[in-house]
Structure 1
Amino acid sequence: MVNTFLSVAEVVLALLLIVVVLMQPSKADGLKGFVTGSTETFFSKNKSRTKEALLSKTTVALAVLFAANTIALNLIK
């Protein structure tokens, strides 16, 4: 019973982790920073309150849960 629950949780966590990673914007600016110079904006100064920061924190949390679940599955088997 516990093994089945952990296996289902593993699949759900994996799918959620994939979705959250794919929702994150690209970090590559290409030549934008080279041509325009500094990219200091209101959003770059307040990154801790943006959607990007929330997605980053969610990714870390899901990755930790996924790793803990994987270890638990290996210990039970």
Structure 2
Amino acid sequence: MAIFITIIHIIVAVALIAIVLLQSGKSAGLSGSIAGGAETFFGKNKGRTIDSMLSKWTSIAAIVFILTSLVLALLQ
């Protein structure tokens, strides 16, 4: 059981890092270099929906990360 939770914990940690790096910040970050041309082609509304979707997935991944951390701590 602990091995299964540890594997999920590692996957969620890597996903959380990737999701945070894809979000656009003040200087547009990694998301600006990937989707920079797409925002000008499809319009500004597309970028806002991508940012809101990434924000939602960040919250979900953070909650799962905290829960797996607590479960692993209790199993120790």
With normalisation by structure 2, the TM-score equals: 0.70
Task: State the structure with bigger RCO (CA 8 A, min sep 6), 1 or 2.
Answer: 1
What is the match of residue 53 of structure 1? 52
What is the match of residue 67 of structure 1? 66
Shift of 1:26: 1.4
Q: Distance in 1 between matches of 2:70 and 2:6?
A: 12
Q: Distance in 2 between matches of 1:60 and 1:27?
A: 19
Shift of 1:66: 0.1
The alignment yields a C-alpha RMSD, in angstroms, of 1.7
Would you tell me which structure has more helix in proportion to its own residues? 2
**Number of residue pairs aligned between Structure 1 and Structure 2:** 59
Shift of 1:28: 4.9
| 1:9 and 2:8 correspond | yes
Consecutive unaligned residues in structure 1, runs of 5 or more: 30-41, 44-48
Which amino acid is 2:20 matched to?
V
Q: Distance in 2 between matches of 1:51 and 1:13?
A: 20
Which amino acid is 2:55 matched to?
S
Identity, % of aligned positions:
31
With normalisation by structure 1, the TM-score equals: 0.70
